[in-house]
């Protein structure tokens, strides 16, 4: 069984924030793979379904970002999940727009959601990092991640998020390079300069 947990802040006020791209991705995974409706459970929204032959839990904590770890830990502990089967999907300032990266373990990189998760389950889970780019030099980082995507972001965002939803079998089959390369191939129609995520 896999857990795919998206990070974000709850409520309509934050729905289109850059910081909520993890929630957007989990919603796309649910839609693309025909999961049932999300239900309130473990202080979050959860549903279960299949991606190809794999049993998968989708989860969005209902706590604010900096308290994501406690509800996520409750899911991990209840289902006795190995951290090797836990994926956290989140925004990343250090990755360019339209790019994704995957990694297992490592530091939180200043991301408050990851800091909270690390404090509750350790850091040996895997991460799907969605690039939101860095703000202009004089822009406060907190204001940037807690502001909505701009209209000119929607071209790449509205293509990338569904592509993540439909490409998840590669991640679950332990082929992250194929996952990244398939996304890049799809996104090249928007960003011809995109290279494979090495």
Active site residues: 19
Spatial CA neighbour of 1 closest among 68, 82, 105 = 82
Q: Which helix (H) or strand (E) holds 179?
A: helix 176-187
Helices and strands per DSSP (H, E), number in the chain: 6, 7
Which residues have C-beta within 8 Å of that of residue 122, sequence separation ≥ 6?
Answer: 83
What is the per-residue burial (b if ≥16 Cβ within 10 Å, else e) of 145-162?
bbeebeeebeebbebbbb
- Say how many CA atoms lie within 13 Å of 196 toward its Cβ: 7
Residue with tokens 């089959």: 173
Instruction: Provide the CA 64 distance to its chain's centre, in angstroms.
Output: 15
Spatial CA neighbour of 103 closest among 87, 120, 119 = 87
């Amino acid at each position: 069984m896999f857990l795919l947990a998206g990070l974000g802040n709850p409520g309509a006020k934050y729905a289109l924030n850059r910081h909520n791209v993890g929630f957007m991705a989990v919603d796309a995974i649910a839609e693309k793979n025909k999961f049932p409706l999300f239900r309130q459970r473990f202080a979050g929204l959860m549903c279960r379904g299949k991606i190809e032959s794999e049993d998968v839990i989708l989860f969005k904590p209902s706590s604010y970002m900096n308290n994501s770890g406690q509800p996520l830990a409750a899911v991990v502990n209840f289902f006795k999940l190995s951290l090797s089967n836990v994926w956290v999907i989140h925004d990343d300032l250090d990755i360019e727009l339209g790019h994704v990266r995957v990694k297992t373990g490592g530091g939180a990189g200043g991301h408050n959601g990851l800091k909270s998760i690390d404090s509750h389950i350790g850091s040996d889970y895997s991460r799907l990092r969605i690039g939101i780019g860095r703000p202009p030099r004089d822009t406060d980082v907190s204001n940037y991640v807690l502001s909505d995507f701009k209209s000119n972001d929607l071209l790449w965002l509205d293509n990338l998020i569904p592509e993540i939803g439909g490409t998840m079998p590669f991640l679950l089959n332990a082929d992250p390079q194929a996952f990244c390369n398939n996304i890049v191939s799809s996104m090249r129609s928007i960003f011809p300069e995109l290279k494979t995520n090495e």
